[in-house]
């Protein structure tokens, strides 16, 4: 984002950003809140909102220093937006005085905050005068230090005592742009060569992946429209190989991709040579996304809009050779891509989602043929949605055998060298994988 004034008045962007922040506080996903912003403001507002979410813990701590009692919701959101954007000069998208002036202007021009404009002005002018002291006063606050809710920090300390700081640091970094090369149309070396010819720096990751040195619009990627490449994080690219490696006759396999939207893993399974994939998702609109993604890849699957927890409504009675269960979860592993998640989630969500995951495992296991595999995964770093979930399932299903699996994947900038069977570290999203084998009875 440029530090110079945009063509659109900054106060309009700040107004819209504050509405997005307030919406997430009220339970609306960040994506939906940004989508509701006027098209001409949306790109700038999304960039500002991401910056705010990555600094909101500090902003809320500063607001408590400036005003012990929070103002009305709309005014508090606007005030926190200004504090999140301007609490440090190093990462601020605009200079502090411009930011304060435009924030006060935004307050005056919005009926929801007009009555608090003087209050916001007073708080921000004091912030300009006393910024160093106010920031220092918040340094001991864990939420200000790590920019995550306190319950989230405490959960990570318990679940990953050796890596909790790594997880929190990674969550506030921008994720790299990772691509999956369609093995039916291309190879990684040839695609890297094509990128190099166009002056686009990249390197190989995994067996079919490419990581770009810098992100760019998908329309600029060679062959994207023709399905030669897809955007998919390195951790998510592990699903299809984990499920399929070692299985004979892929063309004859019958595979279920449960909770499949938006279809990235479905496409990967088909690219890997699976003959028949059933892609299931409870949301009909999200099923349309699966169809669109498969059409771009020039691939076909049986796409069904139905609840995986009720197979009597969609299953034909024929067992599957393999099942991929990418279960609904807190998305705690992808907060670097979706920084709103940390402020959207509540601690109680973990138990509710874990119950749903357990139900899906219990329901889908009987649909798997003896000798088949089920890959359970979540884009979560919480153990209740990963290792603890699988341990409980194994204790209750004597015909289930845990095959060698990555376990919890920890996002970090550099790869870990010791190769432990759990907590692999790399520049990928946080994920959990458990590969389960169904033993013949």
Catalytic residue set: 379
Q: Map 81-131 to HEC letters.
A: HHHHHHCCCCCCCCCHHHHHHHHHHHHHCCCCCHHHHHHHHHHHHHHHHHH
- Among residues 226, 198, 228, 225, the alpha carbon closest in space to that of 214 is found at 198
Phi and psi angles of residue 144, each rounded to the nearest 5 degrees, phi first: -70, -40
Alpha carbon distance 242, 90 (integer Å): 42
- Pairing mode of beta strands 431-438, 368-378: antiparallel
Alpha carbon distance 30, 37 (integer Å): 11
Decide if 200 contacts 212 (C-beta within 8 A).
yes
Phi and psi angles of residue 326, each rounded to the nearest 5 degrees, phi first: -95, 85
Alpha carbon distance 102, 10 (integer Å): 6
CA distances in angstroms from 279 to 58, 299, 303, listed in the order given: 42, 12, 5
Decide if 398 contacts 381 (C-beta within 8 A).
no
Q: Count how many residues are written for the chain.
A: 441
Alpha carbon distance 104, 296 (integer Å): 47
Structure tokens at 83: 């504090």
Q: How big is the CA angle at 293 (ends 243 and 429), to the nearest 5 degrees?
A: 55
What end-to-end distance do the CA atoms of the chain give, in Å?
Answer: 60
Q: How big is the CA angle at 156 (ends 47 and 173), to the nearest 5 degrees?
A: 25
Query: Beta partners for 230?
Result: 180
């Amino acid at each position: 984002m440029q530090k110079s004034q945009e063509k659109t008045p900054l106060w309009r962007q700040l107004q819209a950003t504050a509405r997005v922040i307030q919406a997430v506080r009220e339970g609306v996903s960040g994506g939906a809140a940004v989508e509701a912003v006027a098209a001409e403001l949306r790109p700038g507002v999304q960039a500002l909102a991401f910056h705010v979410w990555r600094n909101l813990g500090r902003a809320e701590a500063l607001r408590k220093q400036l005003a012990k009692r929070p103002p009305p919701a709309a005014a508090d959101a606007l005030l926190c937006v200004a504090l999140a954007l301007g609490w440090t000069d190093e990462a601020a998208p605009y200079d502090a005085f411009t930011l304060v002036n435009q924030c006060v202007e935004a307050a005056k021009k919005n009926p929801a905050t007009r009555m608090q404009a003087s209050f916001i002005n007073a708080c921000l002018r004091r912030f300009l005068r006393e910024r160093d002291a106010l920031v220092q006063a918040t340094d001991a606050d864990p939420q200000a230090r790590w920019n995550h809710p306190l319950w989230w920090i405490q959960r990570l300390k318990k679940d990953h005592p050796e890596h909790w700081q790594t997880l929190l640091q990674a969550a506030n970094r921008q994720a790299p742009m990772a691509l999956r090369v369609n093995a039916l149309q291309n190879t990684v070396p040839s695609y890297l060569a094509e990128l190099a010819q166009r002056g686009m720096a990249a390197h190989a990751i995994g067996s079919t992946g490419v990581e770009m040195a810098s992100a760019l619009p998908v329309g600029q990627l060679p062959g994207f429209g023709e399905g030669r490449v897809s955007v998919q994080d390195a951790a998510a690219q592990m699903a299809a190989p984990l499920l399929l490696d070692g299985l004979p006759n892929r063309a004859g396999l019958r595979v279920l991709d449960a909770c499949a939207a938006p279809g990235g893993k479905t496409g990967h399974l088909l690219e890997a040579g699976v003959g028949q994939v059933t892609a299931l998702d409870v949301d009909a609109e999200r099923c349309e996304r699966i169809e669109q993604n498969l059409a771009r890849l020039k691939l076909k699957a049986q796409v069904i809009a139905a609840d995986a927890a009720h197979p009597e409504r969609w299953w034909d009675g024929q067992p599957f050779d393999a099942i991929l269960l990418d279960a609904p979860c807190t998305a705690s592993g992808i907060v670097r891509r979706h920084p709103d998640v940390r402020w959207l989630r509540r601690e109680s969500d973990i138990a509710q989602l874990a119950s749903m995951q357990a139900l899906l495992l219990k329901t889908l296991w009987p649909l798997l043929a003896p000798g088949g595999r089920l890959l359970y995964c979540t884009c979560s770093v919480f153990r209740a949605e990963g290792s603890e979930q699988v341990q409980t399932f194994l204790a209750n299903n004597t015909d289930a055998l845990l095959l060698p699996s990555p376990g919890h994947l920890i996002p970090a900038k550099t790869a870990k060298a010791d190769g432990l069977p759990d907590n692999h570290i790399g520049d990928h999203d946080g994920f959990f994988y458990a590969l389960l084998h169904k033993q013949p009875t």
